[in-house]
A and B are shown apart, each in its own frame.
Chain A
Amino acid sequence: METKPRWLTVLDVLTAIFFVVAVFLVFVFAPMERTMGLVQKVFYFHVATAWVGMLGFMVAAVAGILYLIKGDRQYDTLGLAAVEISLVFFFVAIIMGSVWARPIWNTWWTWDPRLTTATIVELIYAAYIMLRQGIEDPDRRARFGAVYAILGFLSVPLTFISIRLLRTIHPVVIGSGDPSAEGAFNMSPRMKVAFFYSLFTFSVVFVDLLLHRLRMGKLAARVEELRLKVSA
Protein backbone atom coordinates (compact mmCIF):
# COMPACT_ATOMS: atom_id res chain seq x y z
CA MET A 1 0.00 0.00 0.00
CA GLU A 2 1.46 3.32 -1.07
CA THR A 3 1.73 6.12 1.50
CA LYS A 4 0.68 9.69 0.85
CA PRO A 5 3.11 11.15 -1.69
CA ARG A 6 5.46 13.92 -0.56
CA TRP A 7 4.30 16.47 -3.16
CA LEU A 8 0.72 16.13 -1.97
CA THR A 9 1.78 17.07 1.56
CA VAL A 10 3.64 20.05 0.12
CA LEU A 11 0.51 21.09 -1.76
CA ASP A 12 -1.55 20.75 1.46
CA VAL A 13 0.80 23.13 3.28
CA LEU A 14 0.85 25.57 0.35
CA THR A 15 -2.95 25.54 0.20
CA ALA A 16 -3.15 26.31 3.92
CA ILE A 17 -0.71 29.22 3.52
CA PHE A 18 -2.60 30.58 0.50
CA PHE A 19 -5.77 30.41 2.49
CA VAL A 20 -4.38 32.33 5.46
CA VAL A 21 -3.10 35.01 3.06
CA ALA A 22 -6.52 35.17 1.41
CA VAL A 23 -8.20 35.76 4.76
CA PHE A 24 -5.66 38.50 5.49
CA LEU A 25 -6.24 40.16 2.10
CA VAL A 26 -9.99 40.07 2.47
CA PHE A 27 -10.21 41.37 6.03
CA VAL A 28 -7.18 43.67 6.32
CA PHE A 29 -5.86 44.59 2.89
CA ALA A 30 -9.11 45.23 1.04
CA PRO A 31 -10.83 48.47 2.07
CA MET A 32 -14.23 48.50 3.73
CA GLU A 33 -17.06 48.99 1.24
CA ARG A 34 -18.74 52.33 1.88
CA THR A 35 -22.46 51.48 1.85
CA MET A 36 -22.59 47.79 2.72
CA GLY A 37 -19.83 47.70 5.32
CA LEU A 38 -18.52 44.50 6.81
CA VAL A 39 -21.04 42.16 5.20
CA GLN A 40 -19.54 42.95 1.78
CA LYS A 41 -16.52 40.81 2.82
CA VAL A 42 -18.71 37.77 2.15
CA PHE A 43 -18.49 38.62 -1.55
CA TYR A 44 -14.83 37.51 -1.94
CA PHE A 45 -15.40 33.98 -0.71
CA HIS A 46 -18.95 33.76 -2.04
CA VAL A 47 -17.84 34.24 -5.65
CA ALA A 48 -14.79 32.02 -5.10
CA THR A 49 -16.81 29.10 -3.71
CA ALA A 50 -19.43 29.49 -6.45
CA TRP A 51 -16.59 29.45 -8.99
CA VAL A 52 -15.32 26.16 -7.53
CA GLY A 53 -18.88 24.84 -7.66
CA MET A 54 -19.10 25.56 -11.38
CA LEU A 55 -15.52 24.37 -11.99
CA GLY A 56 -16.43 20.93 -10.64
CA PHE A 57 -19.39 20.81 -12.98
CA MET A 58 -17.11 21.47 -15.94
CA VAL A 59 -14.52 18.96 -14.76
CA ALA A 60 -17.23 16.32 -14.31
CA ALA A 61 -18.58 16.90 -17.83
CA VAL A 62 -15.09 16.74 -19.39
CA ALA A 63 -14.26 13.64 -17.34
CA GLY A 64 -17.55 12.14 -18.56
CA ILE A 65 -16.63 12.74 -22.20
CA LEU A 66 -13.14 11.30 -21.65
CA TYR A 67 -14.57 8.26 -19.90
CA LEU A 68 -17.00 7.55 -22.74
CA ILE A 69 -14.19 7.85 -25.30
CA LYS A 70 -11.42 6.00 -23.48
CA GLY A 71 -13.26 3.79 -20.99
CA ASP A 72 -10.61 4.37 -18.32
CA ARG A 73 -12.10 4.06 -14.80
CA GLN A 74 -9.82 6.88 -13.56
CA TYR A 75 -11.93 9.44 -15.39
CA ASP A 76 -14.98 8.12 -13.62
CA THR A 77 -13.34 8.64 -10.22
CA LEU A 78 -12.37 12.12 -11.37
CA GLY A 79 -15.95 12.97 -12.33
CA LEU A 80 -17.35 11.70 -9.04
CA ALA A 81 -14.66 13.53 -7.04
CA ALA A 82 -15.40 16.80 -8.84
CA VAL A 83 -19.14 16.50 -8.26
CA GLU A 84 -18.75 15.62 -4.57
CA ILE A 85 -16.46 18.59 -3.89
CA SER A 86 -18.57 21.00 -5.92
CA LEU A 87 -21.75 19.88 -4.20
CA VAL A 88 -20.30 21.06 -0.89
CA PHE A 89 -18.72 24.24 -2.23
CA PHE A 90 -21.81 25.31 -4.10
CA PHE A 91 -23.85 24.76 -0.97
CA VAL A 92 -21.41 26.95 0.97
CA ALA A 93 -21.71 29.60 -1.76
CA ILE A 94 -25.50 29.56 -1.47
CA ILE A 95 -25.36 29.87 2.33
CA MET A 96 -22.86 32.74 2.12
CA GLY A 97 -25.03 34.44 -0.46
CA SER A 98 -27.97 34.21 1.93
CA VAL A 99 -25.90 35.75 4.73
CA TRP A 100 -25.13 38.66 2.41
CA ALA A 101 -28.63 38.94 0.99
CA ARG A 102 -30.34 39.21 4.39
CA PRO A 103 -29.09 42.77 5.13
CA ILE A 104 -28.71 43.92 1.50
CA TRP A 105 -31.84 42.54 -0.18
CA ASN A 106 -33.72 42.27 3.12
CA THR A 107 -34.47 38.59 2.52
CA TRP A 108 -32.63 35.28 2.90
CA TRP A 109 -33.82 34.02 -0.42
CA THR A 110 -35.36 35.28 -3.64
CA TRP A 111 -36.21 33.48 -6.89
CA ASP A 112 -33.63 35.32 -8.91
CA PRO A 113 -32.06 33.59 -11.98
CA ARG A 114 -28.69 32.95 -10.37
CA LEU A 115 -30.13 31.70 -7.12
CA THR A 116 -32.62 29.47 -8.89
CA THR A 117 -30.00 28.14 -11.30
CA ALA A 118 -27.69 27.47 -8.34
CA THR A 119 -30.44 25.44 -6.67
CA ILE A 120 -31.04 23.47 -9.85
CA VAL A 121 -27.30 22.78 -10.21
CA GLU A 122 -27.30 21.47 -6.61
CA LEU A 123 -30.26 19.25 -7.46
CA ILE A 124 -28.47 17.91 -10.55
CA TYR A 125 -25.43 17.09 -8.40
CA ALA A 126 -27.69 15.32 -5.89
CA ALA A 127 -29.43 13.41 -8.71
CA TYR A 128 -26.02 12.39 -10.09
CA ILE A 129 -25.01 10.92 -6.74
CA MET A 130 -28.38 9.19 -6.27
CA LEU A 131 -28.13 7.70 -9.74
CA ARG A 132 -24.71 6.26 -8.93
CA GLN A 133 -25.89 4.85 -5.62
CA GLY A 134 -28.66 2.94 -7.36
CA ILE A 135 -26.35 0.95 -9.64
CA GLU A 136 -24.04 -1.84 -8.50
CA ASP A 137 -22.21 -2.72 -11.70
CA PRO A 138 -19.19 -0.36 -11.74
CA ASP A 139 -18.95 -0.09 -15.55
CA ARG A 140 -22.60 0.76 -15.93
CA ARG A 141 -22.41 3.18 -13.01
CA ALA A 142 -19.50 4.96 -14.66
CA ARG A 143 -21.25 5.15 -18.05
CA PHE A 144 -24.52 6.46 -16.62
CA GLY A 145 -22.69 8.96 -14.43
CA ALA A 146 -20.77 10.25 -17.44
CA VAL A 147 -23.91 10.62 -19.56
CA TYR A 148 -25.80 12.38 -16.78
CA ALA A 149 -22.92 14.76 -16.02
CA ILE A 150 -22.78 15.78 -19.70
CA LEU A 151 -26.56 16.21 -19.95
CA GLY A 152 -26.58 18.34 -16.81
CA PHE A 153 -23.73 20.48 -18.03
CA LEU A 154 -25.58 21.17 -21.29
CA SER A 155 -28.94 21.94 -19.72
CA VAL A 156 -27.71 24.41 -17.10
CA PRO A 157 -26.88 27.28 -19.53
CA LEU A 158 -30.35 26.92 -21.06
CA THR A 159 -31.88 26.93 -17.59
CA PHE A 160 -29.97 30.06 -16.73
CA ILE A 161 -31.03 31.83 -19.93
CA SER A 162 -34.66 30.85 -19.49
CA ILE A 163 -34.79 32.12 -15.92
CA ARG A 164 -32.82 35.21 -16.86
CA LEU A 165 -35.51 36.07 -19.39
CA LEU A 166 -37.85 36.49 -16.43
CA ARG A 167 -36.04 39.05 -14.24
CA THR A 168 -32.98 39.61 -12.11
CA ILE A 169 -31.92 41.61 -9.06
CA HIS A 170 -28.57 39.84 -8.57
CA PRO A 171 -25.68 42.32 -8.89
CA VAL A 172 -23.22 41.76 -11.72
CA VAL A 173 -19.90 42.98 -10.35
CA ILE A 174 -17.73 41.55 -13.12
CA GLY A 175 -18.60 42.77 -16.60
CA SER A 176 -21.32 45.26 -17.36
CA GLY A 177 -23.70 45.84 -14.51
CA ASP A 178 -27.42 46.33 -14.71
CA PRO A 179 -28.16 49.60 -12.86
CA SER A 180 -31.38 48.16 -11.42
CA ALA A 181 -29.45 45.42 -9.57
CA GLU A 182 -29.51 45.97 -5.81
CA GLY A 183 -26.23 45.81 -3.90
CA ALA A 184 -23.96 46.41 -6.90
CA PHE A 185 -20.68 48.26 -6.35
CA ASN A 186 -17.43 49.07 -8.11
CA MET A 187 -14.29 47.34 -6.91
CA SER A 188 -11.30 49.44 -5.91
CA PRO A 189 -7.86 48.15 -7.04
CA ARG A 190 -7.18 46.65 -3.59
CA MET A 191 -10.54 44.92 -3.61
CA LYS A 192 -9.68 43.47 -7.00
CA VAL A 193 -6.45 42.05 -5.62
CA ALA A 194 -8.30 40.39 -2.75
CA PHE A 195 -11.01 39.14 -5.09
CA PHE A 196 -8.80 37.56 -7.72
CA TYR A 197 -6.50 36.15 -5.05
CA SER A 198 -9.55 34.49 -3.41
CA LEU A 199 -10.52 32.98 -6.74
CA PHE A 200 -6.99 31.64 -7.13
CA THR A 201 -6.87 30.29 -3.56
CA PHE A 202 -10.16 28.45 -3.89
CA SER A 203 -9.05 26.97 -7.19
CA VAL A 204 -5.99 25.61 -5.41
CA VAL A 205 -8.19 24.29 -2.58
CA PHE A 206 -10.30 22.57 -5.22
CA VAL A 207 -7.30 20.95 -6.89
CA ASP A 208 -5.89 19.84 -3.54
CA LEU A 209 -9.18 18.27 -2.44
CA LEU A 210 -9.60 16.72 -5.87
CA LEU A 211 -6.20 15.04 -5.67
CA HIS A 212 -6.99 13.72 -2.20
CA ARG A 213 -10.36 12.43 -3.38
CA LEU A 214 -8.77 10.75 -6.42
CA ARG A 215 -6.26 9.03 -4.16
CA MET A 216 -9.11 7.92 -1.91
CA GLY A 217 -11.01 6.60 -4.93
CA LYS A 218 -7.99 4.57 -5.99
CA LEU A 219 -7.60 3.13 -2.49
CA ALA A 220 -11.32 2.33 -2.35
CA ALA A 221 -11.02 0.42 -5.64
CA ARG A 222 -8.04 -1.44 -4.21
CA VAL A 223 -9.95 -2.37 -1.05
CA GLU A 224 -12.83 -3.60 -3.18
CA GLU A 225 -10.41 -5.76 -5.17
CA LEU A 226 -8.84 -7.25 -2.05
CA ARG A 227 -12.24 -7.94 -0.53
CA LEU A 228 -13.30 -9.82 -3.64
CA LYS A 229 -10.07 -11.82 -3.47
CA VAL A 230 -10.65 -12.73 0.18
CA SER A 231 -14.27 -13.71 -0.32
CA ALA A 232 -13.49 -15.74 -3.47
Chain B
Amino acid sequence: MNELTSPTAERASATGSAGAFWRAMWAVVWKDLSAEWRSRELLTGMLVFAVLVILIFNFALELDAKARASVTSGVLWVTFAFAGTLGLNRSMASEKDRGCLDGLLLAPVDRSAIYFGKAIGNLIFMLVVEMVVLPLYSVLYNTNLFHPGLLLVVLMGSIGYVAVGTLLSTMAVQARTRDILLPILLFPLVVPVMIAAVKASGGFLQGVPWEELKVWINLLLVYDVIFVAIAFMFFDYVVEE
Protein backbone atom coordinates (compact mmCIF):
# COMPACT_ATOMS: atom_id res chain seq x y z
CA MET B 1 0.00 0.00 0.00
CA ASN B 2 2.71 2.42 -1.00
CA GLU B 3 0.31 4.86 -2.54
CA LEU B 4 -1.18 5.64 0.87
CA THR B 5 2.15 6.71 2.28
CA SER B 6 2.30 9.95 0.34
CA PRO B 7 -0.83 11.88 1.28
CA THR B 8 -0.24 14.84 -1.01
CA ALA B 9 0.07 12.69 -4.10
CA GLU B 10 -2.97 10.69 -3.03
CA ARG B 11 -5.03 13.82 -2.46
CA ALA B 12 -4.15 15.11 -5.89
CA SER B 13 -5.11 11.88 -7.57
CA ALA B 14 -8.23 11.39 -5.42
CA THR B 15 -10.16 14.15 -7.10
CA GLY B 16 -12.30 12.09 -9.39
CA SER B 17 -10.01 9.66 -11.16
CA ALA B 18 -11.30 6.14 -11.46
CA GLY B 19 -7.91 4.64 -10.62
CA ALA B 20 -7.87 6.36 -7.23
CA PHE B 21 -11.36 5.09 -6.52
CA TRP B 22 -10.40 1.48 -7.19
CA ARG B 23 -7.18 1.78 -5.21
CA ALA B 24 -9.02 3.23 -2.21
CA MET B 25 -11.73 0.60 -2.42
CA TRP B 26 -9.27 -2.30 -2.58
CA ALA B 27 -7.25 -0.75 0.24
CA VAL B 28 -10.35 -0.95 2.47
CA VAL B 29 -11.07 -4.53 1.36
CA TRP B 30 -7.44 -5.48 1.92
CA LYS B 31 -7.43 -3.88 5.37
CA ASP B 32 -10.50 -5.89 6.39
CA LEU B 33 -9.12 -9.14 5.01
CA SER B 34 -5.68 -8.78 6.59
CA ALA B 35 -7.18 -7.74 9.94
CA GLU B 36 -9.39 -10.80 9.78
CA TRP B 37 -6.47 -13.00 8.75
CA ARG B 38 -4.61 -11.95 11.90
CA SER B 39 -7.43 -12.10 14.43
CA ARG B 40 -9.81 -14.65 12.81
CA GLU B 41 -12.48 -13.33 15.17
CA LEU B 42 -15.28 -12.62 12.77
CA LEU B 43 -15.15 -15.68 10.55
CA THR B 44 -14.75 -18.11 13.44
CA GLY B 45 -17.72 -16.51 15.16
CA MET B 46 -19.89 -16.64 12.04
CA LEU B 47 -18.92 -20.23 11.23
CA VAL B 48 -19.48 -21.65 14.70
CA PHE B 49 -22.76 -19.79 14.90
CA ALA B 50 -23.86 -21.13 11.48
CA VAL B 51 -23.11 -24.71 12.52
CA LEU B 52 -25.06 -24.19 15.75
CA VAL B 53 -28.07 -22.87 13.83
CA ILE B 54 -28.05 -25.96 11.60
CA LEU B 55 -27.75 -28.16 14.68
CA ILE B 56 -30.75 -26.46 16.30
CA PHE B 57 -32.76 -26.88 13.11
CA ASN B 58 -31.86 -30.53 13.12
CA PHE B 59 -33.59 -30.99 16.47
CA ALA B 60 -36.37 -28.46 15.91
CA LEU B 61 -37.50 -29.79 12.53
CA GLU B 62 -36.54 -33.50 12.74
CA LEU B 63 -34.64 -33.23 9.47
CA ASP B 64 -35.31 -36.71 8.11
CA ALA B 65 -35.02 -37.46 4.41
CA LYS B 66 -38.62 -36.55 3.62
CA ALA B 67 -38.65 -33.25 5.51
CA ARG B 68 -35.29 -32.23 4.10
CA ALA B 69 -36.43 -32.11 0.50
CA SER B 70 -38.79 -29.24 1.23
CA VAL B 71 -37.02 -27.32 3.99
CA THR B 72 -33.33 -27.46 3.02
CA SER B 73 -33.33 -24.12 1.19
CA GLY B 74 -35.21 -22.46 4.08
CA VAL B 75 -32.77 -23.81 6.67
CA LEU B 76 -29.81 -22.67 4.58
CA TRP B 77 -31.07 -19.11 4.11
CA VAL B 78 -32.06 -18.65 7.74
CA THR B 79 -28.55 -19.79 8.66
CA PHE B 80 -26.96 -17.39 6.17
CA ALA B 81 -29.14 -14.50 7.32
CA PHE B 82 -28.39 -15.01 11.02
CA ALA B 83 -24.67 -15.55 10.51
CA GLY B 84 -24.70 -12.55 8.15
CA THR B 85 -26.09 -10.16 10.77
CA LEU B 86 -23.47 -11.38 13.22
CA GLY B 87 -20.72 -10.61 10.72
CA LEU B 88 -22.13 -7.25 9.64
CA ASN B 89 -22.47 -6.08 13.23
CA ARG B 90 -18.96 -7.17 14.14
CA SER B 91 -17.37 -5.72 11.02
CA MET B 92 -18.84 -2.27 11.64
CA ALA B 93 -18.50 -2.34 15.43
CA SER B 94 -14.76 -2.93 15.15
CA GLU B 95 -14.52 0.16 12.93
CA LYS B 96 -16.50 2.25 15.40
CA ASP B 97 -14.91 1.09 18.64
CA ARG B 98 -11.40 2.44 18.26
CA GLY B 99 -12.33 5.37 16.09
CA CYS B 100 -11.20 3.59 12.93
CA LEU B 101 -14.29 4.78 11.09
CA ASP B 102 -13.35 8.40 11.77
CA GLY B 103 -9.88 7.63 10.48
CA LEU B 104 -11.31 6.13 7.31
CA LEU B 105 -13.57 9.13 6.81
CA LEU B 106 -10.64 11.53 7.22
CA ALA B 107 -8.80 9.80 4.38
CA PRO B 108 -8.91 11.94 1.23
CA VAL B 109 -10.91 9.44 -0.79
CA ASP B 110 -14.40 9.21 -2.15
CA ARG B 111 -16.79 8.06 0.61
CA SER B 112 -18.46 5.58 -1.73
CA ALA B 113 -15.08 3.84 -2.10
CA ILE B 114 -15.24 3.20 1.66
CA TYR B 115 -18.78 1.87 1.32
CA PHE B 116 -17.90 -0.49 -1.50
CA GLY B 117 -14.74 -1.56 0.29
CA LYS B 118 -16.68 -2.47 3.42
CA ALA B 119 -19.45 -4.11 1.40
CA ILE B 120 -17.05 -6.25 -0.62
CA GLY B 121 -15.25 -7.26 2.58
CA ASN B 122 -18.56 -8.27 4.16
CA LEU B 123 -19.56 -10.12 0.99
CA ILE B 124 -16.30 -12.10 1.02
CA PHE B 125 -16.84 -13.10 4.66
CA MET B 126 -20.40 -14.13 3.94
CA LEU B 127 -19.39 -16.16 0.88
CA VAL B 128 -16.65 -17.91 2.86
CA VAL B 129 -19.21 -18.92 5.49
CA GLU B 130 -21.59 -20.11 2.79
CA MET B 131 -18.86 -22.10 1.05
CA VAL B 132 -18.15 -23.89 4.32
CA VAL B 133 -21.80 -24.43 5.27
CA LEU B 134 -22.83 -25.91 1.89
CA PRO B 135 -20.37 -28.86 1.87
CA LEU B 136 -20.90 -29.37 5.60
CA TYR B 137 -24.64 -29.60 5.12
CA SER B 138 -24.11 -31.91 2.13
CA VAL B 139 -22.00 -34.26 4.25
CA LEU B 140 -24.20 -34.13 7.35
CA TYR B 141 -27.41 -34.82 5.45
CA ASN B 142 -26.01 -36.89 2.63
CA THR B 143 -27.22 -34.65 -0.20
CA ASN B 144 -25.38 -32.78 -2.90
CA LEU B 145 -25.88 -29.02 -2.71
CA PHE B 146 -23.33 -28.14 -5.36
CA HIS B 147 -25.69 -27.23 -8.14
CA PRO B 148 -24.49 -24.34 -10.36
CA GLY B 149 -27.92 -22.70 -10.15
CA LEU B 150 -27.84 -22.82 -6.36
CA LEU B 151 -24.39 -21.24 -6.29
CA LEU B 152 -25.67 -18.42 -8.52
CA VAL B 153 -28.61 -17.84 -6.16
CA VAL B 154 -26.29 -17.85 -3.14
CA LEU B 155 -24.09 -15.22 -4.78
CA MET B 156 -26.98 -12.98 -5.87
CA GLY B 157 -28.82 -13.28 -2.58
CA SER B 158 -25.68 -12.46 -0.62
CA ILE B 159 -25.01 -9.37 -2.75
CA GLY B 160 -28.47 -7.93 -2.02
CA TYR B 161 -28.24 -8.84 1.66
CA VAL B 162 -24.81 -7.32 2.12
CA ALA B 163 -25.58 -4.17 0.08
CA VAL B 164 -28.43 -3.20 2.41
CA GLY B 165 -26.79 -4.73 5.48
CA THR B 166 -23.58 -2.71 5.19
CA LEU B 167 -25.52 0.56 4.96
CA LEU B 168 -27.81 -0.33 7.86
CA SER B 169 -25.01 -1.65 10.07
CA THR B 170 -23.23 1.68 9.59
CA MET B 171 -26.37 3.31 10.96
CA ALA B 172 -26.91 0.74 13.71
CA VAL B 173 -23.42 1.04 15.22
CA GLN B 174 -23.97 4.76 15.72
CA ALA B 175 -27.11 4.15 17.79
CA ARG B 176 -27.34 3.37 21.49
CA THR B 177 -29.11 0.04 20.93
CA ARG B 178 -26.69 -1.12 18.24
CA ASP B 179 -26.64 -4.90 18.62
CA ILE B 180 -30.38 -5.44 18.69
CA LEU B 181 -31.03 -2.73 16.13
CA LEU B 182 -29.39 -4.27 13.05
CA PRO B 183 -31.68 -7.33 12.59
CA ILE B 184 -34.75 -5.21 13.35
CA LEU B 185 -33.77 -2.71 10.67
CA LEU B 186 -32.47 -5.24 8.18
CA PHE B 187 -34.91 -8.17 8.13
CA PRO B 188 -38.06 -6.29 7.05
CA LEU B 189 -36.11 -4.79 4.14
CA VAL B 190 -34.56 -8.04 2.89
CA VAL B 191 -37.82 -10.00 2.78
CA PRO B 192 -37.81 -9.97 -1.07
CA VAL B 193 -34.26 -11.39 -1.12
CA MET B 194 -35.20 -14.10 1.35
CA ILE B 195 -38.36 -15.15 -0.49
CA ALA B 196 -36.70 -15.18 -3.91
CA ALA B 197 -33.55 -16.91 -2.67
CA VAL B 198 -35.44 -19.61 -0.74
CA LYS B 199 -37.78 -20.26 -3.67
CA ALA B 200 -35.01 -20.32 -6.28
CA SER B 201 -32.65 -22.49 -4.18
CA GLY B 202 -35.43 -24.94 -3.39
CA GLY B 203 -36.38 -25.04 -7.06
CA PHE B 204 -32.85 -25.79 -8.22
CA LEU B 205 -32.44 -28.53 -5.61
CA GLN B 206 -35.70 -30.17 -6.65
CA GLY B 207 -34.88 -29.97 -10.35
CA VAL B 208 -37.58 -27.47 -11.29
CA PRO B 209 -37.01 -26.24 -14.89
CA TRP B 210 -35.19 -22.94 -15.42
CA GLU B 211 -38.22 -21.23 -17.03
CA GLU B 212 -40.17 -21.45 -13.77
CA LEU B 213 -37.27 -20.20 -11.66
CA LYS B 214 -36.33 -17.31 -13.96
CA VAL B 215 -38.83 -15.01 -12.25
CA TRP B 216 -37.05 -15.40 -8.88
CA ILE B 217 -33.64 -14.82 -10.43
CA ASN B 218 -34.97 -11.67 -12.09
CA LEU B 219 -36.36 -10.48 -8.77
CA LEU B 220 -32.98 -11.00 -7.10
CA LEU B 221 -31.29 -9.14 -9.95
CA VAL B 222 -33.69 -6.18 -9.68
CA TYR B 223 -33.26 -6.02 -5.90
CA ASP B 224 -29.46 -6.16 -6.19
CA VAL B 225 -29.30 -3.40 -8.77
CA ILE B 226 -31.72 -1.09 -6.94
CA PHE B 227 -30.23 -1.48 -3.50
CA VAL B 228 -26.58 -1.36 -4.48
CA ALA B 229 -27.36 1.95 -6.24
CA ILE B 230 -29.41 3.28 -3.32
CA ALA B 231 -26.83 2.32 -0.70
CA PHE B 232 -24.14 3.94 -2.83
CA MET B 233 -26.21 7.15 -2.98
CA PHE B 234 -27.05 7.31 0.72
CA PHE B 235 -23.81 6.20 2.37
CA ASP B 236 -22.58 9.80 2.47
CA TYR B 237 -25.56 10.86 4.59
CA VAL B 238 -25.05 7.99 7.01
CA VAL B 239 -21.43 8.76 7.86
CA GLU B 240 -21.64 12.56 7.72
CA GLU B 241 -20.62 14.28 10.97
Q: Mark B166-190, 1 if CB is under 8 A from A, else 0.
A: 0110010011111001001101111
B223: CB under 8 A from chain A?
A: yes
With an 8 A cutoff between CB atoms, is A13 at the interface? Answer: no
- Decide yes or no whether B134 CB sits under 8 A from chain A: no
Q: Would B188 and A163 count as touching, CB distance under 8 A? A: no
Q: Is the CB of B195 within 8 A of A147?
A: no
B192, A159: Cβ atoms closer than 8 Å = yes
Question: What is the predominant secondary structure among interface residues of chain B facing chain A?
Answer: helix
Interface size on B, residues (CB 8 A): 32
Q: Which stretch (B32-40, B66-74, B82-90, B233-241) binds chain A? A: B233-241
Q: Does A152 lie at the interface of the complex (its beta carbon under 8 Å from any beta carbon of B)?
A: yes
Pick from A134, A147, A161: contact of B176, CB below 8 A.
Answer: A134
Chain A: how many interface residues by the 8 Å CB criterion?
30
Residues of A within 8 A of B152 (CB): none
Tell whether, in the assembled complex, residue A135 and residue B175 are in contact, meaning their CB atoms are under 8 Å apart: yes
A58 part of interface (Cβ distance < 8 Å): no
Contacts of A144 in B (CB 8 A): 171, 174-175, 238
| Residues on A with beta carbons closer than 8 Å to the beta carbon of B189 | 124, 151-152, 155
Cβ of B61 under 8 Å from chain A:
no
User: Which of B168, B184, B234, B237 is close to A130, meaning CB atoms less than 8 Å apart?
Assistant: B184
Q: Mark A157-168, 1 if CB is under 8 A from B, else 0.
A: 011011101100
B100 within 8 A of A: no
Q: Which residues of A contact B176 (CB under 8 A)?
A: 134-136
Q: How far is the CA of A155 from the CA of B240 in the complex (A)?
A: 24
Question: CB of B128 within 8 A of chain A?
Answer: no
User: In the complex, are the beta carbons of A130 and B177 less than 8 A apart?
Assistant: yes
| Contact A143–B192 (Cβ < 8 Å) | no
Cβ contacts A108-147/B at 8 Å (1 or 0 each): 0000000000001001101100110111100010011011
**Known contacts A144-B171, A162-B192: does B181 contact A131 (CB below 8 Å)?**
yes
Q: Does A131 contact B185, Cβ atoms closer than 8 Å?
A: yes
Contact code string B188-215 (vs A, CB < 8 Å = 1, else 0): 1111100110000000000000000001
Q: Which residues of B contact A8 (CB under 8 A)?
A: none
A155's contact among B191, B216, B219, B237, by CB below 8 Å, is which? B191
Question: With the chains together, A64 CA to B150 CA distance in Å?
Answer: 37
- For the complex, give the distance between the alpha carbons of A163 and B192 in Å: 8
Residues of A within 8 A of B (CB): 68, 120, 123-124, 126-127, 130-131, 133-136, 140, 143-144, 146-148, 150-152, 154-155, 158-159, 161-163, 165-166
